[in-house]
Structures are given as structure tokens and as C-alpha cells.
Amino acid sequence: MGLRGGALTAALLLADSLTWGAVGAQVSDRSPEAYRAETVVNGGRIEGRVLLGSASPRSALLFVAKDQAVCGTGTRRVPIVRNNGEALLDAVVYIERIERGKAFRAAARKVTINQASCHFMPHITVLANGGVLEAINSDPVLHNIHVFAVRNTLRQSIFYVSQPQRGDITSKTIALEETGPLLVSCDAHQFMRAHVLVVGNPYYAKVDSGGDFSLDDVPPGSYVVKVWHHALGSRTRHVEVSSGSTTEIRLSY
């Protein structure tokens, strides 16, 4: 007897997690209405590095089954966990809960994901909750964008839209009751993946090529700093920020 309904969904989720890794551990924050932008006078700074730790670099080898003139032929190696020596790449560090502080940058209010040569670019990005996610099809083939909210190993479909023509543009406002990661996929090309972390405050940073990050203009106080990686989940640290000083931390998997 074949799998049906919820059993089929669970089986598909399990199969995908085995191929791609755990897409994201639960990430929660307050809604954007709970955060208030104000001038920060003599704030502090949090800086540090995210380390690979006991995690291992890995990738998935996927077959390009269609639209090979645009997407390429044969197989495509898709990175899941990337590193630069001891440093972990593709991670985002942010303050988990903070009620007030500096304003969001305009760039966080609208994020654009381009589809070119059957790749989502960028692969990892961050969007303010209530902001706009824009998708552009730069390929002469159909892409069918499907966006899911990810909570632990469960996914909830947020929206999907077909983009059959090169130059098609779709814009959607993303307002989540609970902030956290989104998985962006293409139903027409199963090897295409991107990840968007939706945040409720502007204190976040994607690590650089050395795994380093910094959070500036942080009001003095006690905070929980979280690092998120789409395949490895999250880690947290409690930190104290003093006026005009720098707090250094290391976050390791």
C-alpha cells in the first residue's frame, strides 16, 4: 500500500533532510511591532567568529535532469556546509530579542533573489519581517518558485508562483507571526535551493569569508546572541554589552 496524506508528506521531508541536511532549527523572535527604532548614544559592539567546530563540510551531488542547455549537463555539486579552515561560512549571527535600538537599513526591507543559469543568487540572505521578497527570472526557461517557512523539520508553504518568461518579476510581502528561516525552492528544478532568514530586529550580520561578524550600535544590556546555519541549526551565547566597549565572542558547532 502506498503512502498517503500526512505519511507521504513526512516521508518527503525525511528524504529531503537526508539529502540536504536539517534545513534549519527553530528560530524565534518578536514581531516587528515589538521593536522600536531610536537613536543609540554611545552603544557597544559585539564581534567575533563562527567556527565549524565538530561539524563536517559536506555537499550533495544532484543530477541536472531538464533544461540542460540553460542549467548545465550531468551533475551539480551543491554545497551544504562550507568552511574556510576552522571558520564556518553561510552563517548569520543576530541578537535574538531586543526591544529597541538602531533602525533597519533600507536594504533589509527588500531582498532580491535572482535565478540565473538555474541558480538562486544569493544563496543565503536576510530579510526584515514585513519586508518584500522579490524574485527575478533571468533564464529563458520556466521557474516555479516555492517558498516555505521552516520550523525544526516541518515546513509550511508561504507562496508559490510560476515565472515562465525571462524577465518575470514577482514581489511578495513576508510578514510572519514568528520570525525564522525560509526555504526557497524551484518546483521545476529540484536542485535549486536558497535560504532567507527573516528577522525582527536590525542587529544581525552574515559572516564574512573568514567567519567573522560584528554587530554595532548595541544599547548597553544583557542579550542572547544566536548563530543560525540553514543545515546545522543554531547555537546561542549570553553576552553583556557595556557602553562604548566591544564584547568578543566565539560561536562553535
Show me where the domains of the chain are located: 5-54+85-252
How confident is the model over 59-110, as pLDDT tens digits?
Answer: 999 999 999 999 999 999 999 999 999 999 999 999 998 999 999 999 999 9
Per-residue confidence (pLDDT) for residue 17, from 0 to 100: 36
**pLDDT reported for residue 153:** 80
Confidence label for 33 from pLDDT (cuts 50, 70 and 90): low
**Rounded distance, CA 172 to CA 182, Å?**
13
Asked if the model's pLDDT at residue 20 lies above 60, the reply is no
Tens of pLDDT, residue by residue over 125-151, are 999 999 999 999 999 999 999 999 998
Residue 78: per-residue pLDDT: 92
pLDDT at residue 108, rounded to an integer:
94
State the chain's mean pLDDT as an integer: 88
Of 4-8, 64-68, 79-83, 171-175, which gets the smallest average pLDDT? 4-8
Over residues 179-202, the mean pLDDT reads: 96
CATH classification code of 5-54+85-252:
2.60.40.420
Lowest mean pLDDT among 44-53, 152-161, 213-222: 152-161
Q: Which of 212, 219, 217, 177 is nearest to 198 (CA)?
A: 177
3-state secondary structure of 1: coil
Burial class (CB in 10 A: 0-12, 13-18, 19+), 160: middle
Rounded Cα–Cα distance for residues 68 and 73 (Å):
5
Cα–Cα distance list, 125 to 184, 193, 196, 242 (Å): 11, 12, 5, 29
Quick check: 173 and 182 in contact, CB under 8 A? no
d(CA 76, CA 17): 18
5 by Cβ neighbours in 10 Å (0-12 / 13-18 / 19+) ranks as exposed
3-state secondary structure of 108: helix
Examine the pLDDT at 165 and tell me if it is beyond 80.
yes
pLDDT in tens, 106-130: 999 999 999 999 999 999 999 999 9
CB 60 within 8 A of CB 19: yes
pLDDT in tens, 202-238: 999 999 999 999 999 999 999 999 999 999 999 999 9
Q: What is the pLDDT of residue 152?
A: 81
Specify the pLDDT at position 19. 34
For residue 116, which of 67, 159, 45, 43 has the smallest C-alpha distance? Answer: 67
Does the pLDDT at position 253 exceed 60? yes
Identity at 154, one-letter amino acid code:
L
The separation between CA 112 and the C-alpha centre of its own chain, rounded to angstroms, equals 13
Instruction: Tabulate helix, strand, coil % of the chain (nearest 5).
Output: 10, 50, 35
The percent of residues in the chain predicted with pLDDT above 90, rounded, is 84
